Chain A
Amino acid sequence: MNETLVDAKSDARFNARTDTRRFVTFPLGERRFALDSSQVTELVMPGPVHEFPHTMRSLEGVLIRRGEAIPVCDLQGAFGHDTPRCLYVIAQCSYAGRAHTVAIPVSGSCELVQGERYDLPQSEILEAVPADDVTFVAGLLRTGGVTVPMLDLDLVVSHCIHPSNASAREAKR
């Protein structure tokens, strides 16, 4: 009886975590990543990033969208790419228990796709994705016969704000 209950709970958890929805895929560095489309607020053409003196190394400045200042993350340190920006993905993330909107510069075209997300154990992600690309991966998206790593935006932002915190979280996985 107990085992049945545990199985049912486990199935429910699996179903909750494995969902078929729409996703936005985009290139970061040399690899494509995906975000759940519900996280993505909009895609905007490269516009002026308003810079001003501040102390956050991984924030370039702000974009102004609909009267709101949106911080632009500099992901060059995390993903090592220095290519021309094609778009900004504006997405919502969680940091320190609060919701934030951030702009992520991406270097190529974005796609809106349907697929299935799998939140797999890190060991299985390691099998599916080259080890060097595992950082900041929250799960896998299977779409159109390809597997795309899901970007852990919370972790990316955490890394931008406090790199040591993000490293510790990544190590715990």
Chain B
Amino acid sequence: MRRCFGADSMAAAAKQTSRQASFLSQLPKPVSATAGPVILFTAGGVRFAVEANEVAEIRDGEERGMAYRPKGSEPIDFALQVGLGAGRVVRFLVLKPGESPQGAASGVATGVATGVALGVTEVERMTSLPKVVPLPALFQGAERQWYRGLLLLENEVIPLVRTKYWRQVALPPGRIGTIDE
């Protein structure tokens, strides 16, 4: 038996095969969840999201090298850190302080709060209850640290940043400035 899916009937064939294959496949149900409110921002021309309850404040960066920096936090060029090249940093998403990595690694509460200000191009808007899917396991590089998952929002896939990681990032390559307010 041979059935050929020619170009003309490709759509129908694909649909048919898809239906047929659904009997064969044992796909696990997608594990998705919803996130709380997220803030959408762009960096290096790409849209990202961060959980709103992880953000302490959003500040304007007047110009490169003169970035706002709250005490105990480090400003970074987010686009540069994720391999998009040095981005145009216009605003800072100041993450709420978290525990220092040293303290977390040793299991001893040090009480040292560390924070980071993500330098981004634009903060677009805030949205609620987007669906979050895990990053596929075949993505095995640094992106597993960068992102907590992928948001499915209005036919778009938006990486949801893992704030815990970004608080721990060593900063020299993407460091913007160290000027305290």
Q: Using a CB–CB distance below 8 Å, which chain A residues touch chain B?
A: 24, 37-38, 40-45, 48, 50, 52-56, 59, 61-62, 64, 66-71, 86-87, 92, 95, 98, 100-102, 109-114, 143-144, 157, 160-161
Contact = CB atoms under 8 A, between A and B. Distances in A.
B159 A52 contact: yes
Interface string B145-164: 01100101001111100000
B21 A41 contact: yes
Contacts of B17: 24, 42-43, 110, 112
A111 B14 contact: no
Interface of B: 1-7, 10-11, 13-14, 17-18, 20-22, 24-25, 27, 30, 32, 44, 46, 82-84, 131, 133-143, 146-147, 150, 152, 155-159
Contacts of B24: 37-38, 40-41
Nearest to A144: B2
Given A41-B24, A41-B25, 10 more contacts: A44-B14, A50-B157, A53-B84, A55-B143, A56-B138, A67-B152, A70-B136, A102-B138, A144-B2, A157-B138
A160 B158 CA distance: 23
23 contacts: A40-B21, A42-B14, A45-B11, A50-B156, A53-B44, A53-B84, A53-B143, A53-B159, A56-B139, A56-B141, A62-B150, A66-B30, A68-B32, A69-B133, A86-B10, A87-B14, A98-B137, A100-B138, A101-B27, A111-B2, A111-B4, A114-B2, A160-B138
A111 B5 contact: yes
Closest 3 pairs (CB-CB, A-B)? A55-B141, A50-B157, A68-B30
Nearest to A95: B138
Contacts of A66: 27, 30
Interface of chain A: mostly helix, strand, loop or mixed: strand
Contact of A64 (B5, B18, B152): B152
Contacts of A161: 138, 140
Contacts of B152: 64, 67
Contacts of B1: 113-114
A53 B2 contact: no
Contacts of A55: 83, 141-143
